[in-house]
């Protein structure tokens, strides 16, 4: 059969984990696909004869429940060999590439062999009709050249032949598309399987995003309660003591302490606001927002920003939080002396890499890294964490920008 059916594209269409069911590196030439079509007619005949002969011989065993499993195993074993030939034919003549580790079920193998045999034989009939029509066209041209054919009869034959030629070509095209689609479904995950995987991934990522948002809210509440609220209480106590003080020197000292406490509160409030969402990300962009992370970091941080095109806002936000959370974790837990941040855009994919020289051992199940993974997965991205004991720790996020 011709390989005119749409091939699946290479890449992660399911977010995640399996290759595309079929792909082509280059479209083969028409003569090559024509040979593949003729070979498909021959293999279809072999498949039909096998199903007819072996199926008839094993028919009584297939009808009995006790012997059905063994008979199906024998029938499927031969069918798999014929299907393997079909896979080679699709690869050689049509340039299809299929997943190496995917193994179709017995039911799918038998269904494909039945469909392939019927479509291949039907294709042989269509090709035979096309050849017969070509012979008749030659005879018609010969008669017109000798003058033995009238113009009215010639016009009628040309119109009828044109309609039949159109139907013949459309039949070949439809059979080619059916052949390609059947091969994709047998030799790789079917479109229904890919859709089901995609739905499962979207449901999982949605649940993870909701959980990450709840965790972020709890962290903000904890920062406000354990940090700012306690400092506000201390500030109120200092002001109260200053108001009740009888000595001006003591009141001045308490007011000075209260002023210092208020400055610390402003700094902490600014830190909490930056952790919620940095305003510099909207006004100045990702590069400046990462620069703000470097300024606030207690560890020397070296950044390399290699992005020449504007980024989508969700990608910028996710990239910022990957850097911010990774730097915060390194400062708190890794005992690192330096951190390197690289942000690079390669085609339609943004790569964010954060590496420190700390002690390693970062837990992928921690709340911070789990939230980052959920945030990245919500954009169909991937987060890689490499943190062996003894270090170093490398966190890499790959975010699609298309």
Which of 236, 255, 276 is at the close of a domain?
276
Whether residue 166 sits in one domain with residue 33:
yes
Whether residue 213 sits in one domain with residue 148:
no
Spatial separation of the C-alpha atoms in residues 383 and 352, rounded to whole Å: 9
Whether residue 264 sits in one domain with residue 347:
no
The answer to whether 241 and 258 are in contact (CB under 8 A) is: no
Whether residue 50 sits in one domain with residue 168:
yes
Chain mean position to CA 22: 15
Largest CA distance in the chain: 133
Number of structural domains (the chain) is: 3
Give the pLDDT confidence of 259-283 residue by residue, as tens digits.
887 877 777 776 666 666 666 777 7
Q: 3-class DSSP state for residue 41?
A: helix
Spatial separation of the C-alpha atoms in residues 333 and 335, rounded to whole Å: 6
Whether residue 178 sits in one domain with residue 102:
yes
Query: Is residue 196 included in any domain, yes or no?
Result: no
Which of 134, 156, 189 is at the close of a domain?
189
pLDDT of residue 123: 92
Query: Is residue 112 included in any domain, yes or no?
Result: yes
Whether residue 79 sits in one domain with residue 54:
yes
**Domain at 351, CATH number:** 3.30.565.10
Query: Is residue 2 included in any domain, yes or no?
Result: no
pLDDT of residue 20: 44
Whether residue 349 sits in one domain with residue 297:
yes
Whether residue 180 sits in one domain with residue 218:
no
CA atoms within 13 A on the CB side of 39: 19
Whether residue 214 sits in one domain with residue 302:
no
Query: Is residue 77 included in any domain, yes or no?
Result: yes
Q: Which of 239, 100, 242, 126 is CA-nearest to residue 178?
A: 126
CA distances from 339 to 74, 165, 302, 363, 384 (A): 62, 70, 6, 18, 17
Spatial separation of the C-alpha atoms in residues 27 and 25, rounded to whole Å: 7
Spatial separation of the C-alpha atoms in residues 239 and 255, rounded to whole Å: 7
Spatial separation of the C-alpha atoms in residues 102 and 109, rounded to whole Å: 12
Query: Is residue 102 included in any domain, yes or no?
Result: yes
Query: Is residue 8 included in any domain, yes or no?
Result: no
Give the pLDDT confidence of 294-342 residue by residue, as tens digits.
887 888 889 899 988 888 888 888 898 888 888 888 888 778 888 999 9
Whether residue 329 sits in one domain with residue 223:
no
Domain that residue 41 falls in: 23-189
Mean pLDDT in consecutive groups of 10 residues from the start of the chain, 402 residues: 40 40 62 89 92 90 89 91 91 82 84 92 91 85 75 80 88 89 80 73 69 68 72 80 77 80 75 66 82 83 88 87 86 84 90 89 72 81 87 89 77
Burial class (CB in 10 A: 0-12, 13-18, 19+), 234: middle
pLDDT of residue 81: 92
Chain mean position to CA 333: 33
């Amino acid at each position: 059969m011709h390989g005119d059916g749409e091939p699946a594209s290479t890449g992660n269409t399911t977010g995640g984990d399996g290759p595309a069911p079929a792909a082509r590196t280059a479209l083969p030439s028409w003569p090559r696909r024509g040979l593949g079509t003729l070979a498909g007619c021959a293999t279809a005949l072999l498949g039909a004869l096998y199903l007819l002969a072996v199926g008839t011989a094993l028919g009584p065993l297939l009808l009995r429940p006790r012997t059905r499993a063994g008979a199906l195993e024998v029938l499927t074993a031969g069918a798999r060999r014929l299907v393997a030939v079909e896979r080679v034919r699709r690869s050689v003549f049509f340039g299809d590439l299929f997943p190496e580790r995917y193994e179709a079920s017995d039911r799918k193998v038998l269904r494909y062999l039945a469909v392939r045999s019927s479509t291949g034989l039907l294709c042989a009939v269509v090709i035979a009709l096309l050849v017969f029509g070509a012979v008749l066209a030659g005879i018609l041209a010969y008669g017109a050249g000798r003058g033995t054919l009238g113009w009215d009869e010639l016009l009628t034959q040309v119109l009828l032949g044109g309609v039949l030629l159109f139907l013949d070509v459309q039949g070949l095209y439809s059979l080619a598309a059916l052949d390609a689609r059947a091969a994709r479904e047998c030799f790789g995950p079917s479109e229904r399987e890919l859709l089901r995987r995609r739905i499962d991934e979207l449901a999982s990522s949605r649940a993870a995003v909701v959980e990450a948002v709840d965790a972020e809210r709890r962290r903000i509440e904890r920062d406000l309660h354990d940090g700012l609220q306690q400092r506000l209480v201390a500030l109120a106590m200092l002001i109260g003591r200053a108001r009740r003080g009888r000595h001006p020197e003591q009141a001045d000292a308490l007011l000075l302490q209260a002023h210092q406490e208020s400055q610390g509160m402003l700094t902490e409030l600014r830190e909490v606001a930056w952790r919620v969402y940095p305003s510099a990300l909207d006004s100045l962009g990702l590069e400046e927002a990462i620069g703000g992370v470097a300024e606030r970091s207690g560890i020397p941080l070296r950044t390399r920003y290699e992005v020449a095109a504007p980024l989508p806002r969700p990608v910028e936000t996710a990239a910022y939080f990957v850097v911010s959370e990774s730097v915060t974790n390194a400062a708190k837990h890794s005992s690192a002396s330096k951190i390197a941040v690289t942000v690079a855009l390669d085609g339609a994919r943004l790569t964010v890499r954060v590496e420190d020289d700390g002690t390693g051992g970062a837990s992928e199940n921690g709340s911070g890294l789990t939230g980052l993974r959920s945030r990245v997965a919500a954009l169909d991205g991937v987060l890689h964490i490499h943190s062996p004991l003894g270090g170093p720790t490398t966190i890499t996020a790959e975010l699609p920008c298309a």
